Amino acid sequence: MTRDEWGIVWLAGELCLAWTPPPSRSSPVTCPAALLGEPGSAPCPCPLPHGDSPLARLLRRLLSARRSLELCLFAFSSPQLGRAVQLLHRRGVRVRLVTDSDYMALPGSQIGRLRQAGIQVRHDQESGYMHHKFAIVDKKMLITGSLNWTTQAIQNNRENVLIVEDAEYVEPFLAEFERIWEEYNPANYTFFPTKKEQK
C-alpha cells in the first residue's frame, strides 16, 4: 500500500481501509461531483481531478444506503460528506445524527445545514465530549475509526477507517447508537428552572 492512499487489506475476514497520508503533503483531492450529482446531471467542469480517492471510496459506501443511516460523530464539517448525507435524506433514507454540542456550533460545521434540511439531530448536554466516530448503513454496514468528518482530517491527517459488514460487530454499535439517541432525547432535559411549589 502506498502511504498517500487507502490501503485495502483483509483482516480476519473484515475489510480494513487505512487512511494514511504522509506528513509532507495532503491526501489526493478529487471532485466528488459525479458521486453526489443527480442521475443525468451534466459533468462537473471544475479543475479538480475526478478519479478515485479515499474520500470517493468513503462516499460510495455511504451513498449505498437505501433505508437508514445512523451517524454518531464528534465533528462534522466536510461539505462533501454533508452533501452526501443531505442527498440520502432527499432520497428517502431515514437519517439520524448524534453529535457533540461544543463542536456542532463551530464555523464550518455541517450540523446547521443538516437540521435545516430536516434531518434529525441530537446532541449531548454534558461537560465531557461525545467523541464517537461511526456510521451505520442500513443497519448492516459499520464505518468506524479515528476519522472525524472534517476537511482537515480527510486531507491532512493520519487516520484509520474500518468498514465491516458482520452483525457481530455492527449490532453493538447500533445498540450504542440507540442508547445515546434515547439519552439525548430533548424531552429528557430540563431547560428552565422548575418553580418551587408555593407553601
Catalytic (active site) residue 133: yes
Partners of 163 in the beta sheet? Answer: 15, 143
The C-alpha atoms of residue 197 and residue 199 are separated, in whole angstroms, by 6
Of the candidates 50, 89, 102, 138, the residue annotated as catalytic is: 138
- Report how far residue 92's alpha carbon sits from residue 68's, in angstroms, rounded to the nearest whole number: 9
| Other Cβ atoms closer than 10 A to 84 | 23
90-105 burial string, b = 16+ CB within 10 Å, else e?
eeebebbbbbbebbbe
CA-CA distance, 91 to 89, in Å (whole number)?
Answer: 5
Q: Residue 120's beta-bridge partner residues?
A: 96
Among the options 100, 123, 124, 133, which is catalytic?
133
Q: Is 131 among the catalytic positions?
A: yes
d(CA 58, CA 72): 16
C-alpha grid cell, residue 22: 504522509
Q: Which residues are identified as catalytic?
A: 131, 133, 138
